[in-house]
Structure 1
Amino acid sequence: MKRTLTSLLLAALIAPAMAAGEDHKPKHGGIVVETKAGDLELVAKPEQIHIYVGDHGKPLKLTSATGKVTVYSGADMKEAPLALAGDKLEAKGPFKIAAGTKVLAEVSVNGKPAVAARFTLK
C-alpha cells in the first residue's frame, strides 16, 4: 500500500510537469537556445540570418525588437544589425555559414533588457 501511494504521488507530481514541459525543438529548422528573453531559434543562411523568439515553445508576439549578430567563421568575423521583420528578427548578409560557424546574438525583445545567446552551427 505504501509503495502504491508513493507511486501515485510521484505520478501526480510528474504528469503536470511533463504536460507543462518546455518544448525546445526547432520550429523553423534552426538551433534553439533558451534565454531570459525567451527561446531564441537561429536560422542561418549565407544571405540572411533569422532569429525567432518563443515563449516555452510557443511563438512570442514581437511588438519591438532590436539587436545584432556576430558571425565567427574561422578567422573571419562579421557583425550585422538585427531588425524586426514580421514575426522574427533579421540580419542581412552575406555571411560565411558552415559547420562549426559560431554566432553570437544579442537581442532586446518587447522592451526587455538585451540578452545574449551563443549558437554553433552543425
Structure 2
Amino acid sequence: MNISKLIAATVFCASFAAIAADRHDHDHGHEHVAIHGGVVVEVKDIELELVAQPDLMQLHLRDHGKPVDVANGSAKLTILSGAEKQVVELSPAGEKLEAKGVYKVGAGTKLVAIVNLPGKPSLTARFALK
C-alpha cells in the first residue's frame, strides 16, 4: 500500500471515530430533571442545577440523583450578560452552594461555574439561560 492510500485510510477511519464520539454526547438512558426549577448540565457524572435569580444564585449538585456533600465546597460563578461580566463566590448553604446579592440575569445570560469539592478534581460547567 502506498503512503497516500495509507493516509487516506487513516483519515477515513479517524473521521468515523470522531462522528461516533460526537454522537455519544452522553446519552445514558436518563434525562436531566430540574428539581429546583433551574438549568441542569452534567459534568463527570455529576448533575449541576443552577437556579439563577436577580437576588439569589444557587447551585445544586447530584450524583445519580443523590445530593453531593458540599459542606466544605465552594464555587466561582461568572455571569456574562451582554457586555457585562460579574464574578460571584458561592458557599455552602445546606445541601447547595449559594450567594445572595444583585445579579443581572435573564434570557441569553451565559454562566460558567467552577466547583471545588474536597478530594475531587474541580468541575467546570457552562449554563445558558432561556
The normalised TM-score by structure 2 is 0.72
Q: Could you say if the C-alpha distance between residues 37 and 90 of structure 1 is closer, same or farther in structure 2, counting changes exceeding 3 Å?
A: farther
The residue aligned with 1:97 is: 105
Q: Where do residues 1-122 of structure 1 align in structure 2 (5 Å cutoff)?
A: 21-36=29-44, 38-122=46-130
| RMSD between superposed Cα atoms in Å | 1.7
Structure 1 outlier segments of 4+, above 4 Å: none
**Alignment partners' CA distance in 2, 1:112 and 1:94:** 30
Maintained 8 Å contact 2:71/2:95:
no
2:72 aligned partner, one-letter code: S
Larger radius of gyration: 2
Q: Could you say if the C-alpha distance between residues 42 and 86 of structure 1 is closer, same or farther in structure 2, counting changes exceeding 3 Å?
A: same
In the comparison of the two structures, how many residue pairs are matched?
Answer: 103
Maintained 8 Å contact 2:39/2:51:
yes
The normalised TM-score by structure 1 is 0.77
**Alignment partners' CA distance in 2, 1:30 and 1:110:** 25
**Alignment partners' CA distance in 2, 1:72 and 1:34:** 20
2:100 aligned partner, one-letter code: K
Maintained 8 Å contact 2:54/2:102:
yes
Gapped runs of 5+ residues in structure 2? Answer: 1-27
1:109 aligned partner, one-letter code: L
**Alignment partners' CA distance in 2, 1:110 and 1:86:** 16
Same amino acid, percent of matched pairs? 48
Cα distance, 1:58 vs structure 2: 2.5
